Structure 1
Amino acid sequence: MANKPDSREKILQTASRLFQLQGYHATGLNQIIKESGSPKGSLYYYFPNGKEELAAEAVKYTSRYIEAKIQSFMEQVPDPVVAIQEFIKEAASQFDQPETIKGIPVGLLASETALISEPLRKVCVQAFKNWETIIANKLIKNGYEEDEAVKAGTVINSMIEGGIMLSLANKSKAPLLTISESIPLILHRKG
């Protein structure tokens, strides 16, 4: 039997989902408390500095989830092009049932807060960097020069983030699938 998440975990799960889908400004603490089923005191106990601290922790929470997903594909699929394509297809599959989307990256929150909150900007930058590094490391292990791999990690992550925004706006996975199909054009096969 799986352990039930504790109050902190429930608050983070709920806040992460709401910040990803609604954005920072449209998500209120009362909504997070209500939807998480946690007592109001729990939110302030675990996140005494309020919404900004909660949002930063939610970004870290989402980042760890995405990192594990990317890493899993990079470890399980030998060819880096195919590994990246499969990760993107997995992300796209969430748009089959948009109401259950879980773990979409943090672009919406980053775009809303980068100019008004330095702590949130920094935690978003770190999340992006972590994802790009996993992709770059896979490319390096497969014969790409480090500089080329780092640039490709940034380009691919940027494409995924943009594809997620387009998929959300269109309520369709088609933009992400187009990006997946384009990966071989971005990563000229080595060998």
Structure 2
Amino acid sequence: MVSKVNSREKILQTASRLFQLQGYHGTGLNQIIKESGLPKGSLYHHFPNGKEELAIEAVQYTSKFIEENLQKLMNEKEGPVEAIQAFIRDTASQFDNLEDIKGIPVGLLASETALISEPLRNACMQAFKNWQMIIAKKLIQNGYEKEEATKKGLLVNSMIGGGIMHSLTSKDKTPLLVIMEVIPLLIEKKG
């Protein structure tokens, strides 16, 4: 028997991947159950309020994965340009095998559900803000004023999100690599 923690995690992993690849409306609970390999009762035990609750938690799960990876790169790289480029390079590398995509895109769920589900919209908005602020914090640590860092964080995060959409559409990482190349033009050295 699968433990409570493991079954919940397995459902979240499966749901996150399917929502990323197929969107909210294209992913059914029966498919999540089937692909997770768990009994139907597990899904309803962990997510008694159904698909919307599961999608919100999947966004939070994906967001946490991205936040941890982004923060790790921000801590490892000295400058913000190098850190942002490393994150984009890592994100782009996922397009080498589309079946293994992890952590992208929350944007698909956001664009699909923002006007029909306020709780899902809020979860996506919070994810975007968290990523933006990790970038902004790195810029502040490197001499940017808070307001400018916040704007640049929004710009970079939006560019990455747009690059992900272009890369998904073309099934090619080139759009993300182009964005990676122009980061030095957006982020000047301070100090």
Partner amino acid for 1:8? R
1:128 Cα deviation (Å)?
0.3
Structure 1 unaligned segments of length 5 or more: list them: none
Matches within 5 A, 1:31-180: 31-180=31-180
Q: Is the 8 A contact 1:63 1:105 kept in 2?
A: no
Q: What SS does structure 2 have at the residue aligned with 1:6?
A: helix
Distance in 2 between residues matched to 1:27 and 1:172, nearest whole Å:
23
| Alpha-carbon shift at residue 186 of structure 1 (Å) | 1.1
Alignment coverage as a number of residue pairs: 189
Runs of 4+ in 1 over 4 A off after TM superposition: none
Note the C-alpha offset of 1:105.
Answer: 3.0
Partner residue, 1:24: 24
Cα deviations across residues 100-140 of structure 1 (Å, max 9, x unaligned)? Answer: 11111300000000000000000000000000000000000
Q: TM-score, normalised by structure 2?
A: 0.96
**Percent of aligned pairs sharing the same letter:** 70
Q: Write the deviation string for residues 12-50 of structure 1: whole angstroms up to 9, x where unpaired.
A: 000000001100000000000000011100100000000
Q: Equivalents in 1 of 2:130, 2:80: separation in Å?
A: 17
Distance 2:39 2:155 in 1: 42
1:66–1:105 CA contact under 8 A, matched in 2: no
Superposition deviation, residue 159 in structure 1: 0.4
Unaligned residue ranges in structure 2 (runs of 5+): none
